[in-house]
Structure 1
């Protein structure tokens, strides 16, 4: 279990043929996940037994999908999750990270007043 968790911390030097990074859209049940490829295509992939109950994924996290792993099966699954991106800061530095998944930095402008930590306006203020 620890070896599996440790394996997901650092990116490999390169991805094998047929592998790509995808963003998790949602869990559809029975260890099947809907993921979005860099091409914006949505596919269904399976989470193998070695990751089950070991590493939890949430919406928006990234995984490495092998599109050739389930070619011999005749079903709706388009691939298998072969790795889970846990430290995305390290993974984003890798040469194979898709430019479509580049992290967007939101800059705050000084013109707008921040509403963080403030109560919403009351109905009395509208009068």
Structure 2
């Protein structure tokens, strides 16, 4: 039994070491799109990722929220007004993201997957 427990603890620390060793390279070239950046979790996440050197595409519901976020962050944070309940707003934000990101992929999703997802969202609100 003690041997079994020791093996489990050893595996735990081995997996933890391996996971902590993984690093994302070239953070300056990475983009993250975050919605709900006027306040709360989205706002805090956008500010933290900016401090870590990532480029943040932040979607805010109001111009006031977008302006505050721009004041608190560096030029790596770009804001767009997005109302997820309006299809026109989703389409405009999708186009805005395409212009900023270009042909680079976002994680395992390319921009076509994001476009498909936003089209699905726009239909689900009608």
Structure 2 length normalisation: TM-score? 0.26
Which structure has greater helix proportion?
Answer: 2
User: RCO greater where, 1 or 2, for CA within 8 Å and sep 6 or more?
Assistant: 1
Structure 1 length normalisation: TM-score? 0.26
